[in-house]
Amino acid sequence: MKIELTDSPSESDKEALKKGLSAHSAKHNHTWDEKEVGLFCRDENGIVVAGLVGETFFGWLYIEHLWVSDALRGQGIGKKLVRFAEDEAKRRGCSHSALDTFTFQSPKFYEHLGYERSGQFTDFPKGERLIYYSKKL
């Protein structure tokens, strides 16, 4: 057996892992029903100025990335993106949502939206924390 290290895995290699995880999940009576969700706000030139990317699976929404440009912060766009993603997740049959954020990013923002801390890593990065959140939809 050979172990290969890469900093740019191919889509087919990533798909092989997903298929393996799906088969393993099926053995435990869980359907790996992963489906991506993407929401993007664009300016008049088509440039992304805010957005959210995540996925739904196992009855959960997982928010991977949420970003709002500095010029648009404080206008409720982030809140609208999260709410839209939560609504779509509910439409897909999800009952919960989860995400993680660093202390230098937006913990208070997510807490204001009803997310509760469920864990954290300290010194990730040094002097900060990575905080995990979840919410019942």
25-76, pLDDT tens digit by residue? 888 877 778 899 999 999 999 999 999 999 999 999 999 999 999 999 999 9
Count of domains in the chain? 1
Q: What is the DSSP secondary structure assignment for residue 91, as one 8-state letter?
A: H
Going from the C-alpha of 130 to that of each of 37, 65, 104, the distances in angstroms are 23, 14, 9
Q: Domain for residue 65, yes or no?
A: yes
CA 37 from centroid of its chain's CA atoms:
9
Helix (H) or strand (E) run with residue 24 in it: helix 11-27
- The reply to whether 27 falls in a domain is no
pTM over 0.75: yes
In a domain, 49, yes or no: yes
Residue 22 has what pLDDT? Answer: 81
Could you read off the pLDDT of 99-124 as tens digits, one per residue? 999 999 999 999 999 999 999 999 99
Residue 137, pLDDT above cutoff 90: yes
| pLDDT given at position 72 | 96
With respect to residue 14, please indicate whether it lies within any of the assigned structural domains: no
E runs forming strands in 4-107 = 35-42, 48-57, 60-68, 96-102
**Within a domain: 108:** yes
CATH number at residue 49: 3.40.630.30
Query: What is the residue range of 78's domain?
Result: 33-136
Q: Residue 12: inside a domain, yes or no?
A: no
8 is a domain residue: no
Residue 18 included in any domain = no
pLDDT (0 to 100) of residue 63: 98
102 versus 5: the higher-pLDDT residue is 102
Q: Confidence band (pLDDT; 50, 70, 90) for 21?
A: confident
Closest CA to 54 of 94, 8, 98: 98
Closest CA to 105 of 95, 92, 115: 115
pLDDT at 64: 98
